[in-house]
């Protein structure tokens, strides 16, 4: 029988890689879930800068890891060193879980289901909604795929770099058979896009806010927007969520998405259904006491 927190020579290793990684809450709730189910694993965070990623991936087999989560900025870049991708990771061209299976490295993506479940948890209905999506990276692909499956009426993407916007459009066309409209970042922050007046939901998938940077939002132009979702999360609420609530809009950050993607990751790592309540309590406690 495994005792809580007792690490032995047989304990198996799980982890998360990213850069920076200090803000990650995954170790807190993954270890709580492993302990609750009495599973002989430990989950640690590893700060891996981009120039060390290849080396880190190539040593995963050697260290006998069962699997890892992958976070910003490695989700796309890591793909070139993996042996296989599951259908969702292949569709989204982004990986947030790698399993070591019979010496093969297999990539998965649990962000889309994490986001979809966070919408369900917050009772968000997408039918007929006009949605502005900020950002066009890996998280944006997971989010837009969930929005389309959920029946959103129209999604318009605003991204800072036009190159990434274009790549996003091309990806949506080839992978989701979807014509996505885009507009410039400047037209968003200056409030010049006519779409803003018809907006129901604003979703941030840029990495702005990760370090509590303030985003310039043309609040006076999006008065009809009823809901603001930030996939970014901090220990406290993100400044976008705080600003939205000040204006009496419903708003939530990426913590529930994190939790639900983590629950799916846990199932992939261990083969057991995740004890969601245990994970949620651990997450809330970590946030409350700033662990
Ligand atoms: N809650 C969760 O479970 C969860 C899951 C996945 C991701 N996330 C969060 O989502 C964020 C994005 O992740 P990702 O994987 O999509 O990263 P990514 O692929 O690197 O994309 C980053 C996006 O942010 C934009 N961006 C970065 N800095 C910006 C700035 N100063 N102003 C405007 N736009 C800026 C980039 O635009 P350019 O093209 O102009 O560079 C790009 O569109 C991260 O903060 C991550 O933590 C949360």
Residues 102 and 73 in one domain: yes
So what's the pLDDT on residue 5?
Answer: 64
**How far is the centre of ligand 1, averaged over its atoms, from the C-alpha of 165 (Å)?**
13
Q: What is the pTM of this model?
A: 0.94
- Tokens at 246, concatenated: 């000040």
Query: How confident is the model at residue 213, as a pLDDT?
Result: 82
Distance of CA 167 from the midpoint of ligand 1 (Å): 15
Q: Would 142 be classed as within a structural domain?
A: yes
**Which residues does residue 229 pair with via DSSP β-bridges, in sequence order?**
203, 252
Spatial separation of the C-alpha atoms in residues 23 and 261, rounded to whole Å: 17
242 lines ligand 1 (CB under 6 A): no
Identify whether residues 80 and 150 lie together within a single domain. Answer: no
pLDDT of residue 210: 75
CATH number at residue 276: 3.40.50.10860
Domain that holds residue 63: 12-108+256-289
Within the chain, which residues score under 50 in pLDDT?
A: 1-3
- 117 plus 240 within the same structural domain: yes
DSSP string, 33-79: HHHHTT-SEEEEEEE--GGGHHHHHHTTTTTT--EEEE-TT-TTGGG
Distance 215 CA to ligand 1 centre (A): 13
CA angle 288, 260, 27 (to 5 degrees): 55
167, 64: one domain: no
How many whole angstroms from 107 Cα to the centroid of ligand 1?
A: 20
Closest ligand 1 atom, residue 161 Cα: 40
3-state helix, strand, coil in the chain (%, to 5): 40, 20, 40
**Residue 206, ligand 1, Cβ within 6 A:** yes
- Do residues 142 and 236 both lie within one domain? yes
Query: Considering only CA atoms, which of 43, 42, 98 is closest in space to residue 68?
Result: 98
Specify whether 174 is located in the same domain as 57: no
Q: Is residue 3 part of a domain?
A: no
Please give the pLDDT value at position 10.
Answer: 93
Provide the domain count of the chain.
Answer: 2
Q: Is 214 part of the annotated catalytic residue set?
A: no
Strand ranges in the chain using DSSP code E only, listed in sequence order: 12-18, 41-47, 67-70, 84-85, 97-101, 104-108, 130-134, 154-159, 181-184, 201-204, 227-230, 250-252
Write down the pLDDT at residue 281: 97
| 191-247: pLDDT as tens digits | 999 999 999 999 999 988 877 788 999 999 999 999 999 999 988 889 999 999 999
Domain annotation covers residue 176: yes
User: Residue 206's domain is classified under what CATH number?
Assistant: 3.40.50.720
In this prediction, residue 1 carries a pLDDT of 45
pLDDT of residue 4: 59
Q: Please report how the helices 138-149 and 111-121 are oriented relative to each other, as an axis angle in degrees rounded to 10.
A: 50
Say yes or no: CB of residue 231 within 6 Å of ligand 1.
yes
| Catalytic-role residue among 12, 75, 186, 221 | 75
Report the pLDDT value the prediction gives residue 289, as an integer from 0 to 100: 78
């Amino acid at each position: 029988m495994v005792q809580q927190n007792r690490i032995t020579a047989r304990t198996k290793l799980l982890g998360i890689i990213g850069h920076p990684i200090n803000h990650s809450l995954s170790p807190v709730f993954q270890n709580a879930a492993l302990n609750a189910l009495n599973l002989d694993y430990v989950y640690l965070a590893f700060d891996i800068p981009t120039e060390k990623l290849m080396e880190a991936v190539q040593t995963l087999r050697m260290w006998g890891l069962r699997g890892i989560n992958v976070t910003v900025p490695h989700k796309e870049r890591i793909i070139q060193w993996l042996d296989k991708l599951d259908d969702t990771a292949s569709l989204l061209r982004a990986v947030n879980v790698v399993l070591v299976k019979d010496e093969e490295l297999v990539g998965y993506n649990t962000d889309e289901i994490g986001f979809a479940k966070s919408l369900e948890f917050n009772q968000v209905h997408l039918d007929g909604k006009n949605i502005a999506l900020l950002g066009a990276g890996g998280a944006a692909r997971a989010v837009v795929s969930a929005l389309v499956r959920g029946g959103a009426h129209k999604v318009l993407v605003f991204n800072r770099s036009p190159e990434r916007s274009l790549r996003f459009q091309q990806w949506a066309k080839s992978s989701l058979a979807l014509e996505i409209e885009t507009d410039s970042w400047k037209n968003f922050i200056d409030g010049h896009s006519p779409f803003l007046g018809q907006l129901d939901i604003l979703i941030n998938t840029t990495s702005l806010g990760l370090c509590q940077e303030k985003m310039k939002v043309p609040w006076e132009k999006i008065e009809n927007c009823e809901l603001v979702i930030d996939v970014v999360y901090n220990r406290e609420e993100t400044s976008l969520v705080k600003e939205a609530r000040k204006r009496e809009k419903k708003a939530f950050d990426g913590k529930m998405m994190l939790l639900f993607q983590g629950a799916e990751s846990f199932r992939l790592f261990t083969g057991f259904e995740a004890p969601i309540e245990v994970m949620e309590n651990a997450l809330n406690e970590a946030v409350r006491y700033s662990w």
